Copies of this chain bind each other. A is one copy, B any other.
Amino acid sequence: MTYCVAMRLDAGLVFLSDSRTYAGVDHINTFRKMHFFEREGQRVVVLMTAGNLSISQSVVNTLRERIEANKGRNLCNVPSMFEAAKHVGDCLREVHARDAESLKEFGVDFSAGLLLGGQIKGEEPRLFQIYAAGNFTEATQDTPYFQIGESKYGKPIIVRVITHRTSIDEAVKCALVSMDSSIRSNLSVGLPLDLLTYERDAFRVGHHCVLREDNAYFELIRKQWSQRLRDAFVELPDPDWERIHLTAEALRERDGASRKARRES
């Protein structure tokens, strides 16, 4: 399994991926799932992958070969992120044409999920989610993030925090908290993490860090979040069993009536 999240903010783009691959409990490995292509001053394109590792590696290798061959359409010469998404979708369809039938014979689904984000000179930063069939959707101001892989555990904090106006630093914090929830709930999501930020109109990667088990900042975030969450939880009011049946309106009326009674007594 895998967990990757990407956010398209007014301020730029944030990408975070884990690196655990999993084929049964006796077959856990570390593979990087984040790949980026940078032409300083011209474009930054970032790809994250989930699903069957042989499929996603084939896609990435195909994309790299096209860039290295330096002829025909490739991620370093397509004129827009929309064309980049179509190109990645096409490569995925080539891998499908080659592998899907054989995989099916062995009972293996053709599973793949990709996130593609970046900025190409002349455009805004854009973010796409590409599906196994090679089709794709684009992040919008209303839904400025995409997740692939084991996404549910880490979704609640994103839903509560992220809007297109969130700053890059806040989004990084949120992505790390979201990753922490996924790691705690699912053994098949694991460190090290790849973290990449891109500042709008920079046309070069902002930060790219690999966070390992002993990373001081991630450790701090995990510990402090855990503690604050428990504090916040403890501070929630206990159920008041006499009043728990009441609607908000009935409670206001009741409290109003008792205040009135107190005034009159």
**What is the minimal beta-carbon distance from A39 to any residue of chain B, in angstroms?**
23
How many chain-A residues does the 8 Å CB contact rule pick out? 53
Copies of this protein, total: 2
Interface of A is mostly: helix
For chain A, residues 201 to 228, give those with C-beta under 8 angstroms from any C-beta of chain B.
207, 209, 211-212, 214-217, 219-221, 224-226, 228
Q: Given A185-B159, A228-B235, A230-B161, do A251 and B153 touch, yes or no (CB 8 Å)?
A: no
- Determine, out of A28-36, A81-89, A90-98, A171-179, the stretch whose residues face the partner at the interface: A171-179
A216 partner, pick from B157, B224, B243, beta carbons under 8 A = B243
A152 partner, pick from B152, B161, B215, B232, beta carbons under 8 A = B152
Contacts of A161 in B (CB 8 A): 230, 233
Contacts of A73 in B (CB 8 A): none
Interface flag for A247 (CB, 8 Å): yes
Residues of A within 8 A of B (CB): 152-153, 155-157, 159-161, 169-170, 172-174, 177, 181, 184-185, 207, 209, 211-212, 214-217, 219-221, 224-226, 228-233, 235-241, 243-251
| Leading 6 A-B pairs by shortest Cβ distance | A152-B152, A228-B232, A214-B247, A216-B251, A156-B181, A216-B248
A to B CB contacts below 8 Å, 15 in the list? A152-B152, A157-B229, A159-B185, A170-B233, A170-B238, A173-B233, A174-B233, A177-B233, A207-B244, A209-B244, A215-B244, A216-B246, A216-B250, A217-B243, A224-B236
